[in-house]
Amino acid sequence: MRLPLVRVTVLAALLWTAGCTTTPTAPTASEPRSVVLISIDGLPASALGQGDTPHLDALAAAGTHAAWMNPSYPVLTFPNHFTLVTGLRPDRHGIIHNSMRDEAVGGFKVADKAAGADARWWQGEPIWNTAEKAGLRTAIWAWPGSAAPIEGRRPTRWVPYSPEISATERADQVAGWMTEPVATRPRLAALYFERVDNVGHEKGPDAPETLAAIREVDAAVGRIVQALETHGLRGTTDVVVVSDHGMAPVRPDQYIALEDMATIEQAEAVSTGQVIGFNPRPGHTGDTERRLLGRHEHYACWRKQELPARWHYGTHPRVPAIVCQFDEGWNGLPADQLRRAPKDRLNRGSHGYDNALPSMRAVFIAAGPSFRAGTTLPAFDNVDVYPLLARLLDLAPAPSDGTADTFAPVLTPRAAPAH
């Protein structure tokens, strides 16, 4: 049964209290403050408080949570994950899509491990680099970008993405890191869960299988929190849980062939999905623009320099010349892929739509000694997460598009401004 939010909040607080088997310790010189950053890919803000997330709801009750967090444009996994850890919008950090091209570097796709490990793609300073520069140990589990030696640096420990490793095993590894002796314990750990996103794409955001995936990952988060409590580390550890975006339902008849948008002779489609980038072929700029630019029945297209200003997108050289944004619930795929795919095998859930849509809203929860219990935040942009993480670790942040001042109303005095 999906419970009303008020009942869930009370239940969450009771669950949290019941789980506190060890009194939290106060920060001391021998127990430096640490941060655990957890991403649940594809978890919509609307999923909280519905009975499927008791551990996340307990964490929110013990600390703070936002009404929702605004993802950056485009609302895709890799761009938003790198925004979360750099505070830069995708148009500035260079991960402008899950699929992209760079004249000097070549092609990038999320499934291409070699491209993901090529530091030339990643043009920002992630929080683990900020921490390592200051002499802090970091441990990162498969966060997008962590496989690349950005600025010639790597986390102290990093685990490459491996879908075979269960949510429970990942959680236990991070819990193990964070409960090591102080001499080896990371000051920052980050963990990535993709299961909710994968199942949400396949089955749709409201499918029973997706809700089961949410419960599975919620339980994994609970294992980390319980380990911190058991070892008396709640008083020195802030836990920050985010998602990169939400998810919208898609019907199998809501797909458009890319070749019906622009022919192969006219333009190259650099990407597929919900945000389609086209580069006109030599001699075809005029006819490609005449065919694409403007409003269509289920999508709209712009020259990159004429995109809506609120998206903060279009100045990076990797952004294709023409960008087409699909309406919520619609997708673009190559014609041959649509012909080959049975209707029942097409995705039933998608993201990548306008970042102002309620279905795209992301999650933000934080609890620990730096956060006032039982507080809430209004919606904010996800560029603010990186400067917050820097403040929690008392680090001077690299230049970014965000600000930690967003969190001033919910921070305790211990969360002193970074020097």
Q: What is the pLDDT of residues 211-235, one digit of tens each?
A: 999 999 999 999 999 999 999 999 9
Point out the domain boundary residue: 292, 326, 346: 346
Angle at 317 between CA 145 and CA 266, to 5 degrees: 115
Is 167 found in the same domain as 264? Answer: no
308 and 230, same structural domain? Answer: no
Residue 195 lies in a domain: yes
Query: Both 131 and 240 in a single domain?
Result: yes
From residue 215, alpha-carbon distances to 40, 41, 157, 181, 218 in Å are 12, 14, 28, 31, 5
For residues 328 and 220, membership in a common domain is answered with: no
What pLDDT shows up at residue 236? 97
Q: What is the CATH number of the domain that holds 272?
A: 3.30.1360.180
The mean pLDDT value for 74-78 works out to 99
Is 72 in the same domain as 192? yes
Q: Within 13 Å of residue 255, how many CA atoms lie on the same side as its CB?
A: 23
Q: Pick the closest to residue 144 from 104, 101, 194 (CA basis).
A: 194
Last residue of a domain, one of 346, 368, 386: 346
Q: With left for phi above 0 and alpha for psi between -120 and 50, is residue 278 left, alpha or beta?
A: beta
Q: pTM for the whole thing?
A: 0.93
In a domain, 369, yes or no: yes
Q: Amino acid identity, residue 397? A: P
> Within this chain, do residues 153 and 63 fall inside the same structural domain, yes or no?
yes
> How many whole angstroms separate alpha carbon 154 and alpha carbon 117?
11
- Tokens representing 146 are 């962590």
Residue 204 has pLDDT above 90, yes or no: yes
112 found inside a domain: no
pLDDT reported for residue 11: 40
Overall number of domains in the chain:
2
Does a structural domain hold residue 95?
no
Statement to judge: residues 323 and 385 lie in one domain = no
Per-residue pLDDT reduced to its tens digit, 14-36: 444 334 333 343 445 457 899 99
Q: Yes or no: say if 179 and 25 are a contact pair by the CB < 8 Å rule.
A: no
pLDDT in tens, 252-272: 999 999 999 999 999 999 999
Domain boundary among 317, 346, 375: 346
Query: What domain range includes position 291?
Result: 255-346
Mean pLDDT score of the chain, rounded to an integer? 93
**Tokens at 72, concatenated:** 């950056």
Confidence check: pLDDT of 46 > 90: yes
Are 380 and 316 in a shared domain? no
Strands 299-303 and 294-295: antiparallel
Q: What is the pLDDT of residue 1?
A: 30
Q: What is the pLDDT of residue 341?
A: 86
Q: What percent of the chain has pLDDT over 70?
A: 92
What single DSSP character describes residue 103? Answer: T
Q: Is 352 inside a domain boundary?
A: no
Residues 169 and 296 in one domain: no
Domain identity same for 394 and 364: yes
Looking at the fold, whether 143 and 167 belong to one and the same domain comes out as yes
pLDDT on residue 417: 53
CATH number at 44 reads 3.40.720.10
Same domain, 222 and 186: yes
Q: What is the mean pLDDT of residues 107-113?
A: 97
- Residue 324, domain member (yes or no): yes
pLDDT at 301 over 70: yes
Region of poorest pLDDT, from 30-34, 111-115, 134-138: 30-34
The answer as to whether 270 is a domain residue is yes
Mind listing the pLDDT tens digit for each residue in 360-400? 999 999 999 999 999 999 999 999 999 999 999 999 999 99
Higher pLDDT, 95 or 31: 95
Q: CA-to-CA distance for 314 and 244, rounded, in angstroms?
A: 20
- What residue has token string 């991960």? 95
Residue 367, domain member (yes or no): yes
Strand-pair category, 331-333 with 255-257:
parallel
Contact assessment for residue 199 and residue 209, using Cβ atoms and an 8 Å cutoff:
yes
DSSP state of 89: -
Q: What are phi and psi of 257, to 5 degrees?
A: -75, 135
Share of the chain above pLDDT 90, in %: 89
Give the mean pLDDT of 109-114.
96
- How confident is the model at residue 67, as a pLDDT? 99
